[in-house]
Chains A and B, each alone.
Chain A
Amino acid sequence: MSKHARHLRGLTIATLVFFLAGLALTFFYAPDDVNQGFAQKIFYIHVPLAIVSLCGYVLGGVFGVIHLRTRERIWDLRSYTAIHMSLIFSVGGLLSGAIWAKVAWGHWWVWSEPTLVSYLIVVLLFCTYQPLRFSIEDPERQSMYASVFSVVAGAFVPLNFLIVRLSEAFVHPRVLNLEGGTLPGSMALAFYVMVIAVALLFATLMKFEMLAKETRGQTRRLRRKLLGDDAVAPVGRSAAPL
């Protein structure tokens, strides 16, 4: 059995449990926000999505470093899957962020919120990961270059947040802080459970994708062995490692 299949069932069940608990806490336990009312509930999915996807990008960079050091293809696959999943989570994060901004400030997009702006820059950068991979034909070079990209871009995530936040701090000094320490206890509980639920979802989906990729590769190898190398059509160009 593949090592990606290990713990997959347990992980899936844990994800489900945490998600149900998180949603229940969000809607039935945590109080409505004083200013924003019921609409503020989107905060409980938006912020976890954003946090987990950012961690996923950095994780992709860490896997990239290991790939460059060990040259084992499995780390390239891990790096690819982490970034791929993060991109999907980012789309959710940006959409929910836009909805929240509309409800809270009356605009779909606000430039004065440094977290949102730096998040957009990071997503823009990682959007180029797939095109970069896709336009390198040699699979070995593709994995090497993708890892170099993931390392540089992974380090860019915290740097970029720091600089964008400083720019706002210097230009519009303010004390208001949207997320962080000021959450009342019941809100904080629901929020943290949702963070764990989204993180578990990330891990589960990552494992599923890696398992699928590995199974596809194994099927191909078997077919090549059984039918002969020439009978199996060559792999088309792909952004995904095989």
Chain B
Amino acid sequence: MVHALTHVVYTTPRLVRVRSACVGAIELTGLTRRFGERLVLNGLSLSVPAGASLAVLGRNGAGKTTLLRVLATLLAPHAGNVSVLGEELPRRGWAVRGRLGFLGHEPLLYRELSGRENLSYHARLHGVGPQRVEQVLAAVGMARRGDDPVRSLSRGMVQRLAVARAVLHAPEILLLDEPRSNLDPAGSELIEGLIGRPAGLTRVLTSHDPEAALAEADLVLALEGGRAAYLGAPEGIDAAQIKELYR
């Protein structure tokens, strides 16, 4: 105990920051976010090690999307500490922004522009070269339809483009809100290498299908009313508990 204390006191702030980056890619302590008077996230604490996948379960309105938006720097926490890649949010949000890949409910694509134009726009915002656009476009199997306006594409194709947008700048952390919605098995297969476990990235994901989410997770967080009802290994939560969670 004494040893640990002196260690904390005598290390420089910079070293502490680097160390926390080694401890976990995402560190939350007491994260709280309100909407008006309602608590959407209520004192959430957890740690996701680098390279691990965290599945977030819970019924609609449990706070899954809010959690992802806080991690994506789109929402500021009202209380508690949030550290992503060793950077304190929201103060140092700009330092992590380019290192996160966010895939939300909305594809974040302009309907009148083609997939290629949309990706080029985001590539410019992230300072990524044009050859990377072609690379991800091919990876999601959209190179051939890349010049069609997004409004003319099917929902599955739009979702594939959204995946391409999320991984365009080679992020270190992926924040995925129901990434496989609207995708058929073939499409799901196609994006596996980009955002699935083979990508080897730190991931936070939600899913409309809890069994599938559990299968690709190292850690599970079950949210109920903004609090953690369960936090631990996927083996520790059984079917009855999951059923209760979504009841």
A234 at the interface (CB under 8 A from B): yes
Determine if B36 is an interface residue (Cβ-Cβ < 8 Å): yes
Are the C-beta atoms of B37 and A138 separated by less than 8 Å?
no
Which chain B residues border A234 with CB–CB below 8 Å?
36-38
Residues on A with C-beta less than 8 A from B37 are 220, 224, 229, 234-235, 242
Report Cα–Cα, A234/B38, bound state, in Å.
9
Complex: chain B residue closest to A224, CB-CB: B37
B35 within 8 Å of A by Cβ? yes
A220 to B37 alpha-carbon distance, docked (Å): 10
Tally of chain B residues near chain A (CB < 8 A): 4
* A139 within 8 Å of B (CB atoms): yes
Residues of A within 8 A of B36 (CB): 138-139, 234-235
**Least Cβ–Cβ distance between B226 and chain A, in angstroms:** 12
Q: How far is the CA of A140 from the CA of B148 in the complex (A)?
A: 39
CB A239 to nearest CB in B, in angstroms, measures 14
Closest A residue to B78 by CB, please name it.
Answer: A140
Residue of B nearest to A221 (CB): B37
B23-42 vs A: 1/0 string, CB under 8 Å?
00000000000011110000
Chain A residues touching B, majority SS? loop
A138 to B35, alpha carbons, bound, how many Å?
Answer: 7
Chain B residues near A220: list those with CB within 8 A: 37
Within 8 A of A (CB), among B121-162: none
Roughly how many angstroms separate A220 CA and B35 CA in the complex, as a whole number? 16
The A161-196 residues at the B interface (CB cut-off 8 A) are none
Which A residue sits closest to B39, measured CB to CB? A229
| Residues of B close to A139: CB separation below 8 A | 36
Distance in Å from the Cβ of B242 to the closest Cβ of chain A?
25
Residues 117-143 of chain A, each 1 if its beta carbon lies under 8 Å from chain B, else 0:
000000000000000000000110000
Which residues from A are CB-within-8-Å of B38? 229, 234
1/0 per residue A214-227: CB within 8 Å of B? 00000010001000
Q: Which of A198-221 contact B (CB under 8 A)?
A: 220
Q: In the complex, how many angstroms separate the beta carbon of A192 from the nearest chain B beta carbon?
A: 45
Q: Which residue of B lies closest to A217 (CB)?
A: B37
Give the complex CA separation of A242 and B36 in angstroms.
Answer: 9
Residues of B within 8 A of A235 (CB): 36-37
A137 to B, closest residue via Cβ: B36
Which chain B residues in 9-51 approach chain A with CB under 8 Å?
35-38
Q: How far is the CB of A67 from chain B (nearest CB, A)?
A: 15
Cα distance A139–B36 in the bound complex, in angstroms: 6
A66 CB → nearest B CB, Å? 19
Interface string of A226-242 (1 = CB under 8 A from B): 00010000110000001
Interface residues of A in 77-131 (CB under 8 A from B): none
Cα of A139 to Cα of B78 in the assembled complex, Å: 13
Q: List 13 A-B contacts (CB under 8 A).
A: A138-B35, A138-B36, A139-B36, A220-B37, A224-B37, A229-B37, A229-B38, A234-B36, A234-B37, A234-B38, A235-B36, A235-B37, A242-B37
10 more A-B contacts (CB under 8 A) besides A138-B35, A138-B36, A224-B37?
A: A139-B36, A220-B37, A229-B37, A229-B38, A234-B36, A234-B37, A234-B38, A235-B36, A235-B37, A242-B37
List 8 A-B pairs, minimum CB-CB distance, nearest first.
A139-B36, A235-B37, A235-B36, A138-B35, A234-B37, A224-B37, A138-B36, A234-B36
